[in-house]
Amino acid sequence: MKSLKKQKLRTYSMLFLLSLLWYSCNTEAIEPKFQRVENIEIIDLNANKVSIIGEAVLYNPNPVSIFLDSIELDAFANELKVGHISQTKRSEISKKSEFAIPLSLEFNPNSLVNDNLFSLLESAFNAYALQKIELEFKGYASFDVKGFRFKVPISYSDEILLKDE
């Protein structure tokens, strides 16, 4: 009789531990979220080079750390493609937190001359006359969350003042 009780107790204990283990491991991965781009700054602006820096801010809603695998963004100034940002350094992102990804863009404004000369002239005139440019980033960030891979779309647009008023 005692051995039967011990056997049942062991069985129930084992079932309890297995269900606890299954429940704790069965958390579903949640896709990280793009929040905003901030701290955009033109650090060099002349006839031969434009350098812009900033940070893309994303949020990890998961109860575990995740890994950023890569970022691929196309950059546009006044609707003209001016460059591509590619970052492939794997980074660990803390659980349930926002994190900033540094962005750096450098281009030669003379390289914008293409077949669409009217668009180029209109863009240059708007930048000169209005002292601002419309900066846009489009692309994605790739993440690894507990073996699940996610591509989070990034789309951001903002007007950047070329001079302090």
Q: Tell me the pLDDT tens digit for each residue of 15-71.
A: 665 554 444 554 567 888 889 889 988 888 777 888 889 898 989 998 888 999 999
Flag whether pLDDT at 104 surpasses 80.
Answer: yes
Give the domain ranges of the chain. 29-161
Whether residue 10 is predicted with pLDDT greater than 80 in this model: the reply is no
> What is the structure's pLDDT at 21?
47
CATH says 29-161 is which class?
A: mainly beta
pLDDT at 144 over 80: yes
Q: Is 52 left (phi over 0), alpha (psi -120 to 50) or beta?
A: beta
**DSSP-assigned beta bridge partners for residue 141:** 71, 152
- The 10 Å Cβ neighbour count of residue 114 is 10
Give the SS3 label for residue 162: coil
User: Which is more confidently placed, 74 or 126?
Assistant: 74
Q: What is the mean pLDDT of residues 2-20?
A: 65
pLDDT of residue 7: 76
Verdict on whether the full-model pTM lies above 0.85: no
pLDDT for 74 equals 94
pLDDT for the residue 118: 54
**Residue 52's pLDDT is what?**
86
Minimal CA–CA distance to 92: which of 63, 59, 61, 66? 66
